[in-house]
Amino acid sequence: MAVVKEFTLPDLGEGLTEAEIVRWLVEVGEVVAIDQPVVEVETAKAVVEVPCPYGGVVTARFGAEGDTLDVGRPLVTVAVGSHSDAAGDPEGPDASGASGGGSDEGSGNVLVGYGTGTAVARRRGRVRAVDGSVKAEVSVTEVPVTGVPVADGPVAVISPLVRRLAREHGLDLRALAGTGPDGLILRADVERAVAAPAQAPAVAPAVSPASVVAGEERVPLRGVRGMVADKLARSRREIPDATCWVDADATELLAARAAMNASGGERISVLALFARIVTAGLARYPELNATVDAERREIVRLSAVHLGFAAQTERGLVVPVVHDAHTRSTSGLSAEIGRLTEAARTGALTPRDLTGGTVTLNNYGVFGVDGSTPILNHPEAAMLGVGRIAPKPWVHRGELAVRHVVQLSFTFDHRVCDGGTAGGFLRFVADCVENPAVLLAAV
């Protein structure tokens, strides 16, 4: 006899609490194997395939393509215990997703690219044969547990975002009744609680938003666009940022790049040269590679440089991250930036590729503009902006000449440093641009 098991949208990590269904990969009635991808979803970080940890027959799908589901909501139900030739014998090692490990908890592969390292709370059920004998014990549900225990018991919360929203509005999560599975508190529950005190009896008929302006178009803030909106708004709300500028003669930098590429080795991009300069600058001014813990009123200085760089794609603005950029050579930086740029264009960036950044390099010169006052990529404390490199009149060695000039901007969190530190960093960057040999002295 088959047992129907429900597979829910797993905890996506990194504060992500929802995902949009892009494409279903299975049909109702189809036999699926353990860890077979059943749906492709788009989060604010990337497009990923979600594998189902159960093998059997798909009995139901929840949500249509284009729908947005919260973490913990059902994705599919699978009848397990039949079609073992296609989905794996419940009595065999594949019933647990392991080979010979003796585990009976399912495969544990909740989402490609995220892993299953967190603790999970499980409810168990038993698959019984037709004669009623117990054949195997399997995991019915798996819900990652990240709720913070409190004096009166644990709070049914998965998402850090939900906890943050409650904290910002002074809500006690213990007083909320969750509408998610097993009483899970969702973001919608917190938002309703926040809006409830402000609600008052209507004194006039409500005006439909669609009737305010005829022909207007409303675009939902979700996916990448929604994540960008939330992050930029939070950055502007929480970080007292400041920006300084300097013009630099990049003629020698371009000449150095041409000489490096003429040597026949790995081709070096201009962005990679700036990335190398940034890592050298942060070695000299390490206080800029930091974040602020506002709750504890502490500046957290970071030892590793994970360099993000802004990339515009068809799906919107994304910031891929070169992890451990401080350990990479210029050619290594160029190769990794190239890989991440191509992955961004094709939508193949993984969650790891898009998370963990400590400082950002913003090349807005690709848009043909000279300057910008960018918003910091929260919770980072620094961003170097690079404008277009264009021929301009410049005084060179006491004479007016046409040189390749670039405007550099540096936006920083004024809580982590004063203007002297920010100005010193930017001046170092400009000096390296004008005379790349300065990098040799910085090593």
Which residues are designated catalytic?
A: 414
Determine the pLDDT at residue 142. 34
Mean pLDDT (the chain) is 79
- The angle at the Cα of 105, spanning 101 to 106, to the nearest 5 degrees, equals 90
The amino acid at residue 101 is G
pLDDT digits (tens, 9 = 90+) for 189-213: 887 888 775 444 444 444 444 445 7
**Which domains does the chain show, CATH number per domain?**
3-144 (2.40.50.100), 149-194 (4.10.320.10), 223-442 (3.30.559.10)
Angstrom distance (rounded) from CA 335 to CA 322: 10
CA distances, 14 to each of 18, 233, 439 (Å)? 11, 18, 35
Long-range contacts of 124-127 (CB under 8 A, 24+ apart): 125/3, 125/5, 126/3, 127/1, 127/2, 127/3, 127/80, 127/81, 127/90
Which region among 97-111, 364-378, 402-416 has the lowest average model confidence (pLDDT)? Answer: 97-111
CA distances, 218 to each of 5, 65, 212, 215, 316 (Å)? 38, 19, 12, 10, 17
pLDDT digits (tens, 9 = 90+) for 339-364: 999 998 888 888 889 899 999 999 99
pTM, rounded to two decimals? 0.60
Which region among 31-40, 223-232, 384-393 has the lowest average model confidence (pLDDT)? Answer: 223-232
What is the percent of the chain with per-residue pLDDT over 70, rounded to a whole number? 74
The amino acid at residue 41 is V
